[in-house]
Structure 1
């Protein structure tokens, strides 16, 4: 809490600041009866705009119409006050985006089914109230012990008024591009079926850690085009979920199930959340209750300023000491003086410090909507990840204290590589992660993934790090081969097993990674140069056929393999013509451990339109046959390699 923050709003006593967003400030508060609430107060500059006041009033009215089923209930509001505000029930749970993107990773199928049932029930209630949410996305879904809750009705509208789809009159997008429906991106009239499409995208995200239509790395318009026209990528979705998700993601709104049908048909496991998530929920709920169990003075910190009133502490007031001096209220009145506080006992001070540190970590999540979660990123629920506030230390922790909070331990720095499918000798899918130093929140990891006919490179955000484990969250795609085929990498966890070995997990996927090389000269010198394949035909036309590769030196991410293929053009009857097809492809190096993996081939610009190649990625092997070096390019599938001999 800052000196300029109010001590109370309406009948609610403020405890701490949850966060600040583009719309306003959000505070954690208690009602006179002891209920924990989240209070959103609109920024003064926005409160001065009549149009924004009308929008805020619509948001509050939408929340009141829904009534709290599957959402956060409205417990008080004043949309006409000098500083408009709304108080809703505090939801003690993290957002789906936080759990999947930062903490746990993709959720198991039973949890995703239960999530679908809970969200279906909440959406059905919203639709029965005559509303369309229009912005269902992972950050607007909170996970609690009793089920999911939908928050943020800032752009929710009555069904009979939603005629602008996903665009405003100025052409600005209304909604979140990665989680919009085709009707929204086309600017068409939307109805309850639009929320169901968004629900399908949310469930796909919960199951895989990524949007089924990719990210906006290639541009928002390209993403919206894929939503409107392309099939969703459900590659990593469990078979038990694909039918439901695909039905929700039907392009035709009439072909989608209703929210009620989803709620009625999906089973709900008990408990519905994984044990690790439930344990964190319990710990954080207990911490909140302990921290705010009593206030610093043993009684109310202020007297309500009257209906719609907001009581403020005077500038510079010593809030920790409980200065009773009244200050001006938002309505022009003066808050009644608070009773003089008794000396603050040591336990109350401790609780205030714990709450202040804990609330600071929740600020980002709190600014996202009107229901808010206490879900710090630290391993034990506090900024330090060890049960103590950030900056605290204890004996025996000098190594952790000597580096910035969240910095990568030296043992993790460098590159690591592993095989997800296949064997080390015959890989079918590989991942490489290179970690550099950086604080929590930085894009400190570069990943390279080859498999499923694509090479994907990107940067992942460092969520947390300790001596044994590094957690990576949301990612940004930097390279995609073929273009626009890659999704951002999901949540990843690296657990150190020895100085040379770590365990990699991402949802249900697991692999053993080994320390790998870095640098700009990865390939052995004997690989470099030009290699040529024996002619495919014999006779006078043999010299019209050329198949050769050139291997160059480079780092991971560099195009080190160049393939040249020349052959006669043929007519429709298969007869050879005088002119030739000349094709050149390149491939990017993806690993530094033999056999060296490269991504799918990419045609060089200006290639002949007859050049066609179905490439799945390759790995390079140099062997000896009858005393002669043979360069082999193995496709990442069960077929024989292409073999080349030295041409230099």
Structure 2
């Protein structure tokens, strides 16, 4: 918890933060009766938008109709408050994607059948409420001792529609590549049968660890074509499951079973999960109880629990008879730090992922709005044998580089993002942007992450060349297209990024050393003029180029004097993909007042002319490069 966080929201006493996203802050909390909930509080800038408020209220109302059968129930809300909020039941379990993809592997046939039965019941309840999930995928299915739970639908779309500049139009494609239905691919109106098709893909993933229509390595459009036209690949699916999954994956929506039929015909198992998964759930539950047990009946720091009563704005809290009254959210007030301690593992599986991407001010040029896509994966449960704690999918780790203006051979504006492992809410990404005569570097906060999308939010500036010329980077969305390619968006700005090198030594050895330009003048004074550069090894963000320019000083009439002007500049490496991009040059401290350079950034090209190596330093504008010969 931060000092500015509230002590309570409505009748719910806050315990800790689950995440921060473009839509708002998400807190772990408890009702007066002791029930654990996740409370999402909308950011002020979104709350000021009437259209967002209307959409948010409609989606909360829709979720309340579902009532929590197989989903995370709405336990309280106030969509008219100054800071609108909704409280949803906390689901103490990891996502299907985490269990299958990171911790356990493909699930046994009995578990897959029970998964199908549980999801069938949940979807039937959703469909009876007049809703369609539209984004059923492994990261939106949480596994608990009592069965699967579906999360992340309805509310998150309120962000998408407002920040896109209007309501989603009829035929807009909503979903995740690899887990979409043919109707979604074609942009048609969706009905309950679309969710059943996605359920078939989820069951195939649970049984094999992969999507039945492959990945987006060959491009998203190729993947969507396979979903719409090709038979699913069920090669590794157990024979007793193929009939079930193939029926769900029928291209004709009318030929698929209904969710109710799946729930009625598929057998349940008790216990339904493998023993190793149940052990992980038990450990997580124990940590959660430890977190809840601190602070006594009045809570940490003597915060008094609210009185008993009703829970929602205008009615009783659905599914939570222990909820207290629903006054206006308590004003934000400072609190002393550290005594409200919640173990990180206890916060590992939020029922509501922090939604991403609202507001856009693309650095450093400014902008006019954009949208993000909500994350879906619950955080991983902790254990001694688990991978280092964090929520960044392995496929996204490392560096990625792209060209925003110009071409790969002649870039005019570039961006690099390097992702390291870390939990939601921490600054796990370092960005490097060169363009418009400046280099900007900073760190961006991880807002949400699932198997095919990472959203970065709040940022700070760590390097600005020239000084104080950079704004913090805006919300950025990274969508995986293949192991080596991802799509990058930030509001209206879009680019294709490719995997790039990292480390302290990324420049090829043939670039290193001292390079000298041809003499600028002829005659007896030629040796008084020097133009040379020296390239040294270094990582992105370090000065690797040193440029030296020496020439005679002149008087007001242009006559050369005996002393010389000696100017030295340095440039920071900004990319590891040829041609190697450098930020604008900076004068070294104590430079001669006559040393002036209006630099725009540059990139390095090594070429050969008449058998001799030439280093070309291209300005990031349309002009000829400076050329240098290797100095022995």
The answer (yes or no) to whether the contact 1:8–1:302 under 8 Å persists in 2 is no
Question: 1:283 & 1:359 partners in 2: Cα distance?
Answer: 9
Distance change in 2, residues 1:139/1:240 (3 Å): same
Deviations 1:279-316 (A, max 9, x none): 1101110111122113268545256697352224534x
Q: Distance in 1 between matches of 2:180 and 2:195?
A: 8
Give the aligned partner of residue 23 of structure 2: 23
Q: Contact conserved, 1:93 with 1:374, CA < 8 A, in 2? A: no
Q: Which residue of 2 aligns with 1:95?
A: 95
Q: Deviations over 1:166-186 (max 9, x none)?
A: x94397531222211111111
User: 1:469-548, aligned counterparts within 5 Å?
Assistant: 477-478=482-483
User: Counterparts of 1:13-412 in structure 2 under 5 Å?
Assistant: 13-154=13-154, 168-169=168-169, 173-295=173-295, 298-299=298-299, 301-302=303-304, 307-315=326-334, 317-320=335-338, 352-353=340-341, 355-358=342-345, 366-367=353-354, 375-379=380-384
Against the structure 1 CA distance between its residues 238 and 378, is the aligned structure 2 distance closer, same or farther, given a 3 Å change threshold?
same
Stretches of structure 1 that go unaligned for 5 or more consecutive residues are 158-166, 321-348, 386-405, 407-437, 443-459, 462-473, 481-648
Between 206-215 and 242-251, report the one with greater CA deviation.
206-215
Give the TM-score normalised by structure 1.
0.51
Tell me if the contact between 1:76 and 1:86 (Cα under 8 Å) persists in the aligned partners.
Answer: yes
For the residues of structure 1 that align with 2:337 and 2:8, how far apart are their CA atoms?
A: 12
SS of aligned partner of 1:276: helix
Q: Tell me the distance in 2 between the aligned counterparts of 1:382 and 1:108.
A: 23
**8 Å contact 2:287–2:346 — kept in the other structure?**
no
Residues 586-616 of structure 1: per-residue CA shift (max 9 Å, x gap): xxxxxxxxxxxxxxxxxxxxxxxxxxxxxxx
Query: Is residue 63–residue 154 contact of structure 2 (8 Å, CA) maintained in 1?
Result: no
Summarize deviations over 1:202-243 as a string: whole Å, max 9, x none: 111111111111222332222222111111111111111111
Change (3 A) 1:380 1:42: farther
Cα displacement string for residues 264-284 of structure 1 (whole angstroms, at most 9, x for unaligned residues)? 111111110010110110111
**Separation of aligned partners in 2, 1:19 and 1:479:** 29
The alpha-carbon distance between structure 1 residues 95 and 123, as it changes in their structure 2 partners (threshold 3 A), is same
Counterpart contact for 2:5–2:333, Cα < 8 Å: no
Could you tell me whether the CA contact under 8 Å between 2:151 and 2:351 is conserved in 1? no
Distance 1:88 1:382, change over 3 A: farther
Residues 74 and 89, structure 2, Cα contact 8 Å, conserved in 1: yes
Query: Which residues of structure 2 form unaligned runs of 5+?
Result: 158-166, 308-324, 356-373, 395-419, 429-450, 453-478, 486-632
Task: State the distance in 1 between where 2:351 and 2:146 align.
Answer: 24
Structural RMSD (CA): 3.5
CA shift in 2, pair 1:155/1:74, >3 Å: closer
Answer yes or no: is the 8 Å Cα contact 2:145–2:278 preserved in 1: yes
Given that 1:365 and 1:372 are in contact with CA atoms closer than 8 Å, whether structure 2 keeps it comes out as no
2:143 partner SS:
strand
Deviations 1:123-167 (A, max 9, x none): 11111122211111111111110101111222799xxxxxxxxx9
Cα 1:307/1:384, change in 2 over 3 Å: closer
Number of aligned residue pairs: give it: 360
Q: CA deviation at 1:8?
A: 0.7
- 2:63 is paired with a residue whose SS is helix
Do residues 3 (structure 1) and 3 (structure 2) align? yes
Whether the 8 Å CA contact 1:6–1:313 is kept in 2: the answer is yes
SS of residue matched to 2:41: strand
- SS of alignment partner, residue 82 of structure 1: coil
Q: Give the Cα–Cα distance (whole angstroms) in 1 for the partners of residues 353 and 99 of structure 2.
A: 15
| 1:376 Cα offset (Å) | 2.8
